[in-house]
């Protein structure tokens, strides 16, 4: 039992961070301040009491309803929290208690926030990517100091980001040339820089193609299975999902498969 203590801790930590990410997902597109005091019920505006604000558990105990007005509380809340817990756990299995763990946790947190907001509103807020990029950049700086490879680490980050921008720019112009429409928004370019910077140049290229397949797959699922037409298709969630998958894949193994 004691053996699983770090896993239990990281999962609960994930639930708590997920609670915070939910707030970001809801408040950032609505242009509200993150630090705007405690959360309130969207129906009756009653402030949520601290003992009703435990991740997942409170939602289950309250039967998914507001204590005050009994209106249903969106399933998005426990879903976002559980998902963050699971993401943190999977990242922990990959990195363990190493110096690379913190930045990987930050990375998947940004992926989650960007995916939810882009899926719902077809925008990728600058503030999320800016904070994410600065945090990963700082992490590479610190890791660089620890390994004595500051210059190499920062160069790899910038090159990865540059590759990310390069590959999406190429497809942007190709798409524009063929259809006279803009296939990607500015947010996608900035997202590719962030993802490429974290993953590195080689994975940034793989990322774009993997995301295209995931995007087509999601599109078909919505169209054929759910019979829902998507007029505006956000590419961000596909990119984020692909980036998440690539965390677990070793570059050496991909290169091995290709050669």
d(CA 19, CA 21): 5
Q: Is 73 in the site for Zn ion (CB under 5 A)?
A: no
Closest approach, Cβ 75 to Zn ion, in A, equals 16
d(CA 81, CA 187): 25
d(CA 112, CA 124): 12
Residue 253: partners with Cβ closer than 8 Å, 6 or more residues away: none
d(CA 117, CA 193): 18
Q: Is 68 in the site for Zn ion (CB under 5 A)?
A: yes
Specify the 3-state DSSP secondary structure of 65.
Answer: strand
- DSSP letter for 230, please: -
Among the residue ranges 38-46, 94-102, 162-170, 201-209, the one whose residues contact Zn ion (CB under 5 A): 38-46
What φ, ψ does residue 233 adopt, rounded to 5°? -105, 120
Specify the 3-state DSSP secondary structure of 12.
Answer: helix
Q: Is 152 in the site for Zn ion (CB under 5 A)?
A: no
Among the residue ranges 66-74, 95-103, 150-158, 193-201, the one whose residues contact Zn ion (CB under 5 A): 66-74
Among the residue ranges 35-43, 149-157, 186-194, 247-255, the one whose residues contact Zn ion (CB under 5 A): 35-43
Closest approach, Cβ 47 to Zn ion, in A, equals 10
Closest approach, Cβ 40 to Zn ion, in A, equals 8
User: Which of 41, 56, 131, 156 lies at the binding interface for Zn ion (CB under 5 A)?
Assistant: 41
Q: Is 69 in the site for Zn ion (CB under 5 A)?
A: yes
User: Which of 17, 24, 66, 199 lies at the binding interface for Zn ion (CB under 5 A)?
Assistant: 66
Residues engaged in binding Zn ion (CB under 5 A)? 41, 43-44, 66, 68-69
């Amino acid at each position: 039992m004691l053996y699983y203590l770090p896993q239990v801790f990281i999962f609960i930590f994930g639930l708590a961070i997920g609670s915070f990410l939910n707030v970001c997902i809801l408040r950032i597109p609505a242009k509200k301040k993150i630090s705007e005091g405690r959360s309130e019920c969207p129906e009756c505006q009653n402030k949520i009491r601290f003992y009703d604000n435990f991740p997942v558990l409170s939602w289950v105990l309250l039967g998914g309803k507001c204590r005050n007005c009994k209106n249903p509380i969106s399933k998005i809340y426990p879903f976002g929290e559980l998902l963050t817990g699971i993401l943190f756990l999977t990242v922990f299995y990959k990195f363990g208690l190493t110096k690379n763990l913190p930045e990987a946790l930050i990375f998947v947190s940004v992926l989650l926030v960007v995916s939810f907001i882009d899926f719902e509103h077809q925008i990728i807020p600058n503030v999320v990517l800016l904070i994410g990029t600065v945090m990963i950049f700082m992490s590479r700086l610190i890791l660089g100091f620890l390994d004595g490879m500051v210059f190499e680490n920062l160069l790899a980050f910038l090159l990865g980001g540059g590759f990310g921008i390069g590959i999406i720019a190429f497809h942007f112009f190709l798409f524009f040339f063929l259809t006279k429409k803009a296939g990607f928004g500015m947010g996608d370019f900035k997202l590719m820089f962030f993802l490429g910077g974290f993953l590195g140049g080689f994975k940034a290229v793989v990322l774009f193609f993997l995301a295209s397949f995931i995007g087509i797959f999601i599109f078909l699922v919505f169209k054929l299975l759910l019979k829902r037409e998507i007029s505006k298709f956000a590419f961000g969630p596909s990119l984020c999902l692909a980036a998440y998958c690539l965390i677990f894949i070793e570059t050496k193994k991909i290169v091995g498969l290709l050669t």
